[in-house]
Structure 1
Amino acid sequence: MQNERFPGTHATRRHGALAVLAAAALMAACGGGGDGDANAGTPPVDAYPLVATPTVTGPVASEGFLSATRNYTFYATDVALASRGYVEQEFFLEGKAKVYNEPAVDYAATTLPAFSGDAAVVAEGVPYKTRIVVRRPTDPAKFNGTVVVEWFNVTDNFDGEYFWVQAKDELLRAGYAYIGVSAQNNGIANPNLGLKWFSPTRYGSLDVTAGGSVTQDKLSYDIYSQTAKAARAVPAVLDGLPVKNVIAAGMSQSGWRMGPYANYIHTRAPIYDAILVQVATPVLRDDLKTPVIKVLSESEATGGRLAASQPDTATRKTYWVAGSSHGDVVQRMGRTGVRLRDLGPQNTGNDACLGGTVATRTRTPLGHVVGAAVHHLKQQVETGATPPSAPALTLAADGQSIARDANGNALGGVRLAHMEVPTARADGVQCGNVGAWVPFDTAQLATLYPSQADYVAKVTAAVGASVAAGFVRAEDGARTIAEAQTSVIGRGLQCGLLCQAAGHFRADFSSTGLLRENTAYYAIRDGERIQQAIDAAHYWMASGYSSSGSAARYHFNFAIASLQQYIELVRAAQAEGRVTATAGELLVSQANTIVRAAEAL
């Protein structure tokens, strides 16, 4: 259904017709319908009357990625949703929003501001128009009843879905619906990268400033509340899927905005059942009734924030994840393909830590803990089960920084297999928000893990502990074990430049280690042969670096052959709809880059 408007709680035509038929059947069964029927014409009860219901238009048609006016959904996912039983749709939201007198976001604060009670409404009826992106199951039987609404991050001057890239595996396999909302002006009107710059044809009418009269994103909080109201009250948004609960989510910049929202606005008009804050440390009130989980990396443990970490309560938990960073490798993988497609290579830069001398992007999977946190919040809302608590990262003797072991890795915190069975120095503070990931050399790895069986056994034990503690979902734990089983750790092999997983993709460089990671990120349906091909290429590449002369050339040629098979399999999966065109082009381009470099060895 294209370009239809659904004002207030009005349903789509299909759902409206079903409602009429159901009402008629009920009246006939009860013998009602006359003037004496007390229920005749009674409107449905609004369960959230303090939050206005916006008008919803859509789904908005897209012309495809070759559109001359770029009339398609900005940052449309490069995950093959249809192969997973999901669909992506975009809608426009418009209505009248309130302005509050909430305290401004203070990124340096470690205590609550001198502000008591709830925020007051200082203006209302302010018009706005924005957009939401919906990803939902196509089969109602798969929907688990929970919607997660991400407040898009606008730090990079465009809408960033940085919660989605970390949580997508849990959301897709467990049947969640996802909504991302453009709540802030920078993502819409930034002159260089905003939605209006991207496609004036599609997004030119969006405005969250009332024509420039309302600044500082003062409408954003009520827009965010109205997005939840649309999910609950406008059937068109989720094609009539029955919503049981809605979880709020914000990452980094938008995670910080969850502080004023949770403390002073949501308290007066609650509409979210739980809140997830990712890699941001807003101070939260002790008396909040809405459950909140913060999932934090090492990068947030600066400026006194680790020392001031709030204690857990029944409704507030904090998970500091050792060995992780604010913008880890998944954040990079999750945006590279769509960023190249929508913003171009000129706006897709490379990391440069200490002049390129330190490898960047931590590999400890923060997203596994994010997925577990979503699961725990859903369980707490539905069953009352309290999420587990976790120790904070250990403070160093200075009382401010993170204590580290002899390898330079953090002590304390949520300890995933990547830190309990380390293969690299991980530092979420070095290199800014992206962190450092410096693989151990071959000799150190051989000392730590004399055989592959030893390495896999240790990883398996560490994963089991994380799953049992509730910080990793079983499916994610199984992926970590599978990665260990197909790695070259414990085999006595040397992983050279075209083998190592360090840094990130660049237009001019990749490696089998990087391509293994990016292939795993897409979780391709029935993609076992694709993963096996890149695993084989990785093994042969390491074997080549571990040999010399004709033996090395022999192994490198096998790596090249495996990469060529990989390319064929990715192309076949793309033709079958199991890999999107955006992802397929990225993966094939990187495989070809490795082939060319390997041929020159």
Structure 2
Amino acid sequence: MSTLHKTLSGLSVRRAALLLLPVALAGAMIAVPPATAQTPTPVAVPTAALSEVNVPGTSPMSATAVDLAAVGYTAREFYAEGQANGYAGATAGALTTASVLDGGNPYRTRVMVRYPKADRFNGTLAVEWTNVTIGVDFEFAAAEASEYLLREGYAVAVVSAQRVGVERLKTWSPARYAGLSVDVNKCGDGGTSLCTGDPLSYDIFAQVTQALKGNVGGAAAPMPGLKVKDAIAIGQSQSAGRLAVYYNTVQPLHDVFEGFALWDRSGQLRSDLTVPAIGVASEGLGGSFGGARWTTSEYTRKWDIAGATHASLYGAEYIEAIAQRDQSIQAPDGQPITFFQWIEPACVKLPPFTTVDVGLVYNKAIDSVRTWSRTGKPAAPSRSFVTTDAGTVVRDADGKVEGGIRLPQFVVPTADQGALNGPAFPCNVSGWHRYYSDAELKAMYKTHAQYVSKVRKVMTPLVSEGYVLPADAAAAIRDAARSDVAR
């Protein structure tokens, strides 16, 4: 796509963009009763107190490996503290508004912020809930959309809201992160045992966002000179699941976010809210965890991507650069390992991940949510995998999933690949790929001109249908033309 990808330290430049054929119709989805409309009593969301981290000789853990200065961005890290509520009813699968269980629970965490100069700022703050599945804070959503976010002038905040991530910060750099805590020891019962489930995380995420939206302090503000008009919540996998809980149960109380763009594992969203939300889903997760079937409504969408894995190859490389630099992922024996080393032991085929460029669709999801919130123009319709009555994805005679958004890398590929890879997590949802040889590509596409023509014919309707941005389609076609495929 854009040249920003080349600014990633140690990462290979993206392979030529590949091609997609017309998309199959969305499959049937389970009928879920709509949530009952409610008029909840709003809960005031105070702003977290922000103070910039300044510990000489240390650096932020899990900061992006992109050269932000080269694209005119400033990066800062802040401590964030305040007092948070716990909520009753903020649980997975709940489709009704939560209620305050208790309040006054102190927390102190951190948030990484990056922002452009004021004349390049588009007015929107994208706020990522970090994924802590590996035991470390990682920004898997921004990994897929980084080029778009920087190109279009978003401000980006990456919030550490959960205990696992915060505790790893403290062991990784005690000097920088001593004193951080998102624990609560009441659990609503007066006891002293540590609560599980990160009950403060929803208020932490919202209060940090509120502070950045306000952006007070003039020259001393966290993002000097920027006027934030709206905030979009982003997150992937377990973070998308927690954001789905937030959307369904806490957002109606807070009304902090103007939109949600969730990457993989968002699940069922309420049908009675008017806050735009798009869940982008991979074949890897839908085909392995049964995540292919849930309903959408007037203000929600579900966009499934055929051939996509739980992280794209490009998103995985983004995380790999961070993990290699920080040596933050630990093996069971305590030794540092990279992200790929964490993935690969469960793989039947190597290397993992497919070349299907999730960012092409996820970029459009973020953009569509922003436009929808600002102008009222709805996003493109849901497009799902075809499923059986039992919820299994339907595959053709060649084993290809039917339905969903079918990107070039899936339909006219430059690699043999699959979205599933054995029975064990995490590789079962991470897939595999093998790039075709020059001879194979020549046999498949005959001439370079034919290959480029196919890319163009597929990308063009995806733009008009509303699933890919014009700039991204143009970059994909340009990359195909510059490639050596079938020359």
Please report how far the alpha carbon of residue 399 of structure 1 lies from its aligned counterpart in structure 2 after TM superposition.
5.0
CA contact (8 A) 1:415 1:466 kept: no
Please report how far the alpha carbon of residue 264 of structure 1 lies from its aligned counterpart in structure 2 after TM superposition.
1.0
Percent identical residues: 31
Q: Alignment partner for residue 46 of structure 2, among 52, 66, 76? A: 52
Q: Is 1:380 the equivalent of 2:372?
A: yes
* Paired residues, number: 422
420-429 or 215-224, which deviates more: 420-429
Separation in 1, partners of 2:345, 2:307: 17
Please report how far the alpha carbon of residue 62 of structure 1 lies from its aligned counterpart in structure 2 after TM superposition.
5.2
Q: Is 1:219 the equivalent of 2:200?
A: yes
Deviation track 1:188-238 (CA, whole Å, cap 9, x = no partner) reads 11xxxx100111111011000046744321000010110221112242222
CA contact (8 A) 2:347 2:428 kept: no
Q: Which residue of 1 aligns with 2:313?
A: 329
Go from structure 1 to structure 2 and tell me whether the alpha carbon gap of 1:403 and 1:396 turns closer, same or farther (over 3 Å shift).
farther
CA contact (8 A) 1:153 1:162 kept: yes
- SS at 2:85 equivalent: strand
Q: Which residue of 2 aligns with 1:242?
A: 227
CA contact (8 A) 2:125 2:213 kept: no
Go from structure 1 to structure 2 and tell me whether the alpha carbon gap of 1:399 and 1:438 turns closer, same or farther (over 3 Å shift).
farther
Please report how far the alpha carbon of residue 446 of structure 1 lies from its aligned counterpart in structure 2 after TM superposition.
3.2
Separation in 1, partners of 2:429, 2:477: 27
CA contact (8 A) 2:107 2:183 kept: yes
Q: Is 1:472 the equivalent of 2:468?
A: yes
Higher relative contact order (CA 8 A, sep 6+): 2
Q: Which residue of 1 aligns with 2:10?
A: none
Q: Is 1:389 the equivalent of 2:381?
A: yes
Q: Alignment partner for residue 264 of structure 1, among 249, 252, 258? A: 249
Go from structure 1 to structure 2 and tell me whether the alpha carbon gap of 1:357 and 1:323 turns closer, same or farther (over 3 Å shift).
closer
- SS at 1:237 equivalent: coil
CA contact (8 A) 1:396 1:403 kept: no
Q: Is 1:424 the equivalent of 2:415?
A: yes
- SS at 1:484 equivalent: helix
Separation in 1, partners of 2:285, 2:268: 13
Deviation track 1:64-95 (CA, whole Å, cap 9, x = no partner) reads xxx3xxx2111222111112111100011101
Q: How does 1:97-246 map to 2 (within 5 A)?
A: 97-105=84-92, 112-113=93-94, 117-137=96-116, 139-189=117-167, 194-210=168-184, 213-235=194-216, 236-246=221-231
Counterpart amino acid of residue 200 in structure 1: P
Bigger fraction of residues in strand: 2
Please report how far the alpha carbon of residue 355 of structure 1 lies from its aligned counterpart in structure 2 after TM superposition.
6.4
- SS at 2:166 equivalent: helix
Q: How does 1:489-500 map to 2 (within 5 A)?
A: 489-491=485-487
Deviation track 1:524-550 (CA, whole Å, cap 9, x = no partner) reads xxxxxxxxxxxxxxxxxxxxxxxxxxx
Q: Which residue of 1 aligns with 2:331?
A: none
CA contact (8 A) 2:393 2:402 kept: no
Q: Is 1:413 the equivalent of 2:408?
A: no
Deviation track 1:449-484 (CA, whole Å, cap 9, x = no partner) reads 111111111112212222222222222223322332
Bigger fraction of residues in helix: 1
Q: Alignment partner for residue 486 of structure 1, among 471, 482, 486? A: 482
344-353 or 386-395, which deviates more: 344-353
Q: Which residue of 1 aligns with 2:188?
A: none
Separation in 2, partners of 1:62, 1:386: 45
Counterpart amino acid of residue 383 in structure 2: P
Counterpart amino acid of residue 387 in structure 2: L
Q: Alignment partner for residue 78 of structure 1, among 65, 69, 82? A: 65
Please report how far the alpha carbon of residue 398 of structure 1 lies from its aligned counterpart in structure 2 after TM superposition.
7.0
CA contact (8 A) 2:280 2:302 kept: yes
- SS at 1:300 equivalent: helix
CA contact (8 A) 2:393 2:401 kept: no
Separation in 1, partners of 2:346, 2:135: 25
Separation in 2, partners of 1:399, 1:100: 32
Separation in 2, partners of 1:365, 1:56: 36
Go from structure 1 to structure 2 and tell me whether the alpha carbon gap of 1:103 and 1:144 turns closer, same or farther (over 3 Å shift).
closer
Separation in 2, partners of 1:144, 1:419: 32
Separation in 2, partners of 1:379, 1:170: 15
Give the greater-gyration-radius structure (CA): 1
Q: Which residue of 1 aligns with 2:361?
A: 369
Gaps of 5+ in 2: 1-41, 186-192, 329-334, 422-426
Q: Which residue of 2 aligns with 1:291?
A: 276
Separation in 1, partners of 2:470, 2:47: 38
Please report how far the alpha carbon of residue 303 of structure 1 lies from its aligned counterpart in structure 2 after TM superposition.
6.0
CA contact (8 A) 1:390 1:414 kept: no
Separation in 1, partners of 2:202, 2:391: 36
Counterpart amino acid of residue 268 in structure 2: V
